[in-house]
């Protein structure tokens, strides 16, 4: 795992955007795996800026997103489709038909998940997968205890994730209890992985993920088994790893 320590969230975002931009420049027809959450927002802002400056084009890029809440329409302001439109897709030249987000209103969620894995395979797989990490070490919506062997599937969100995501909804009761999510198997199938983590609140989980045993109790720890992972994190997120001597 390649680890880049950045002074703060701003520097982390710029570095992560630089890695995504490199992928797009080197292979303009690439498949980008994209993530939601607050951590990647700054990276998306940089990409939009570079597109507007004429330094970057997404005209040939295809995107696949990690996850979506079950039961939320794409137009719901907390759906991940809406998030992607607001934070990235509406501001760049990616073709709408080339952006893929799981359908939270699918009548048959299991069939939607199976079709999503087939769609990713038909695109030739993911060149670069961007990930954030939850406070409990989850990636996408793969919660602690979930089976590493799963492809895209329906998940039940943990109480901790519901707590963490409550801030975006009017009340805790409004947070969906289920989601559709690419599984660890789908994520590990990407050629390259870029994970962004910021803030001291995630430092303990990040240390476990990077230097602890590979265990589904800390889903991000599976990344130790992937041959091409880049972690871009701010110093606060790396504080525990550094204290424990895990950062060379
Ligand atoms: C959600 C998403 C994850 C994301 C996580 C952390 O649970 N499904 O993909 O990594 O939130 O979000 P944040 O970056 O806001 O801490």
143 falls within a domain: yes
Between the CA of 44 and the centroid of ligand 1 the distance, in Å, is: 15
Residue 243 counted as domain residue: no
Per-chain mean pLDDT for the chain: 96
- Over residues 117-144, the mean pLDDT reads 96
Where do we find the tokens 């969906």?
Answer: 176
Enumerate the active-site residues: 67, 136, 138, 143
Q: Quick check: helix, strand or coil at residue 153?
A: strand
Given a cut of 90, whether residue 51 has pLDDT beyond it is yes
pLDDT of amino acid 158 = 87
Containing structural domain, residue 176? 7-187
Give 170-193 pLDDT, tens digit per residue: 999 999 999 999 999 999 999 999
Residue nearest to atom 10 of ligand 1 (CA): 132
What average pLDDT does this structure show over 65-81?
A: 96
Would you say 1 and 206 are in contact if contact means Cβ atoms under 8 Å apart?
no
| Nearest atom within ligand 1 for CA of residue 40 | 14
Q: Which of 159-163, 182-186, 196-200, 232-236 has the lowest mean pLDDT?
A: 159-163
In the predicted model, is pLDDT for residue 82 greater than 90? yes
How many domains is the chain partitioned into structurally?
1
Residue 94 lies in a domain: yes
**HSE (CB half, 13 Å, CA atoms) of 106?**
21
Evaluate whether residue 111 is within a structural domain: yes
Is 155 part of any domain? yes
Asked if the structure places residue 23 within a domain, the reply is yes
**Residue 213, domain member (yes or no):** no
| Residue closest by Cα to atom 5 of ligand 1 | 134
Listing DSSP states for 112-137 in one string gives: HHHHHHHHHHHTT--SEEEE---TTS
pLDDT of residue 245 exceeding 90, the answer is no
Query: Where does the pLDDT of residue 164 fall: very low under 50, low under 70, confident under 90, or very high at 90 and above?
Result: confident
Name the one residue in this structure whose structure tokens are 């963490």: 164
Percentage above 70 pLDDT, the chain: 100
Q: In what order do the strands lie in the sheet with 229-234?
A: 2-6, 229-234, 192-197, 128-131, 31-34, 62-65, 99-100
User: Which residues have CB under 6 Å of ligand 1?
Assistant: 35-39, 66-67, 132-134, 140-141, 161
| Global confidence as pTM | 0.96
In a domain, 208, yes or no: no
Q: What CATH number is attached to the domain comprising 126?
A: 3.40.50.1360
């Amino acid at each position: 795992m390649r680890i880049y320590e950045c002074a703060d969230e701003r520097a982390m975002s710029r570095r992560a955007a630089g890695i995504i931009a490199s992928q797009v420049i080197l292979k303009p027809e690439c498949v980008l795996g994209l993530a939601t959450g607050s951590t990647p927002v700054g990276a998306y802002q940089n990409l939009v800026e570079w597109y507007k400056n004429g330094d970057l084009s997404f005209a040939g890029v295809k995107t696949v997103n990690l996850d979506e809440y079950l039961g939320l329409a794409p137009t719901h302001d907390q759906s991940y489709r809406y998030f992607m439109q607001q934070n990235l897709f509406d501001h760049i030249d990616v073709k709408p038909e080339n952006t893929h987000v799981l359908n939270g209103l699918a009548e048959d969620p299991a069939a939607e998940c199976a079709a999503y894995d087939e769609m990713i395979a038909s695109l030739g797989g993911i060149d670069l997968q961007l990930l954030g990490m939850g406070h409990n070490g989850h990636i996408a919506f793969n919660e602690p205890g979930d089976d590493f062997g799963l492809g895209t599937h329906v998940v039940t969100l943990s109480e901790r994730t519901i707590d963490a995501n409550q801030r975006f909804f009017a009340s805790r009761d409004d947070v969906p209890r289920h989601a559709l999510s690419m599984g660890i198997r789908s994520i590990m199938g990407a050629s390259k992985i870029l994970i962004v983590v910021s803030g001291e609140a995630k430092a303990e989980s990040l240390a476990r993920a990077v230097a602890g045993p590979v265990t589904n109790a800390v889903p991000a720890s599976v990344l130790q088994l992937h041959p091409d992972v880049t972690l871009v994190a701010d110093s606060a997120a790396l504080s525990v790893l550094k204290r424990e001597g895990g950062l060379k």
